Amino acid sequence: MTDKDLTPQDMATVWSAVFVTEFILILTINAFTIIAFVRKCHLRKRSTYLIINLTVADLLVGAVTGPLDRYASDIKAESEYGFSWRAFVVVTLTYIFSGTSLSYLSLISLERLHATLYPFRHCLIGKRVYFTIIICCWSLALLLSSLFSVLHMFVKAAIPYLLASYIVLTILTLTVSYVIIIVKVRNNPAPYHFSSVASDRKLSITLFIVTVASILTILPWAIFLNFPLDSRNQLLPEANALLVLYYTSSLVNPLIYAVRMQQFRKAVKEIFCKETPDSSRVHPMELPM
């Protein structure tokens, strides 16, 4: 049976199954990632605070944003008849976590840029600074998503272009930051006798891979959002495929951590195998290669 043999109702069912499966995977994999970070204190350090919050945002994308975006159309339709608190809450929740995920990608790239350009000054940054940045990031995401919700009710046609602009701004931040990082690292090889500097640079490589994977998954959706409305309506299968790819960005992070960080793999393995960790053993922090 080909796509031409399927009715629109059949295609809708197929895509619903695809999205539900993807949301379950996003929720499950990011949940195990968070549990790994929580259980292993040596994985929780200043350089991973933003990563942990990115993982939380990605988990909520699969648990809240995706399902609401796909299956709350009847509630969001209330916004077409004026302001509705129920629609306002639903639309806000639709935007906040995906926006937060993009914001943390930008913050992580800027944090890595600072660690590369000013390694010793970066080591002196206290936890309070990170906590302040994290609170500001979530607050700004709530403010922007609320603004998007209001615009969704009164200037709905502007939303795709605003979303595309936000995604492009994120990609631009990521690209510029990591280009500078690559140039800096090539011109100034890491002094491996300073373990903290070497560790930061190796972590930057891992997060660069995360960033490249994220760009490859979110950029096509940003380009599609700039298509004329009539074209977007005529390309429904393609739109669904690009949206699936976009949500895949919330899956890539823990998978890359699992490949790159031995201690992270060990923590996840212990969750599945229900091993009892030996508290008398010292677990050194694995340097991402």
pTM for the full predicted model: 0.81
CATH 1.20.1070.10 fits 19-273, yes or no: yes
Residue 208, pLDDT > 80, answer no
Q: C-alpha distances in angstroms, 74 versus 11, 151, 266?
A: 20, 18, 44
What's the start-to-end Cα distance of the chain, in Å? 46
Where residue 81 falls among pLDDT bands split at 50, 70, 90? Answer: low
At 279 the pLDDT is: 44
At 74 the pLDDT is: 67
* Torsion over CA: 160, 98, 266, 275 (sign): negative
At 79 the pLDDT is: 64
At 258 the pLDDT is: 66
Q: CA-to-CA distance for 240 and 101, rounded, in angstroms?
A: 20
- Percent over 70 (pLDDT), the chain: 79
At 121 the pLDDT is: 87
Instruction: Supply 253's token pair.
Output: 């992070």
Mean pLDDT calculated for residue range 103-112: 88
pLDDT in tens, 2-22: 555 667 777 878 888 999 999
Q: Is 222 exposed, middle or buried (0-12, 13-18, 19+ CB in 10 A)?
A: buried
Question: What residue segments make up the domains of the chain, in order of their start?
Answer: 19-273
Residue 35, pLDDT > 80, answer yes
At 226 the pLDDT is: 79
pLDDT: which is higher, 118 or 71: 118
Residue 51, pLDDT > 70, answer yes
**Highest mean pLDDT, choosing among 179-183, 226-230, 265-269:** 179-183
pLDDT in tens, 141-194: 999 999 988 888 888 888 888 888 888 898 899 889 888 888 887 777 655 445
Residue 256, pLDDT > 90, answer no
pLDDT in tens, 108-128: 889 888 888 888 888 888 889
Mean pLDDT calculated for residue range 259-279: 64
Instruction: Supply 165's token pair.
Output: 């602009």
At 193 the pLDDT is: 47
**Highest mean pLDDT, choosing among 131-135, 202-206, 216-220, 224-228:** 131-135
DSSP 193: T
Q: CA 78, 13, 67 angle in degrees (round to 5)?
A: 45
Mean of per-residue pLDDT scores for the chain: 79
At 206 the pLDDT is: 72
Mean pLDDT calculated for residue range 201-215: 74
Dmax (CA) of the chain = 65
At 202 the pLDDT is: 65
Where residue 64 falls among pLDDT bands split at 50, 70, 90? Answer: very high
Instruction: Supply 19's token pair.
Output: 């999205």
Phi and psi (nearest 5°) for 284?
Answer: -70, 155
Mean pLDDT calculated for residue range 249-263: 74
Where residue 277 falls among pLDDT bands split at 50, 70, 90? Answer: very low
Residue 205, pLDDT > 80, answer no
- Given a contact cutoff of 8 angstroms between Cβ atoms, the answer to whether 94 and 72 are in contact is yes
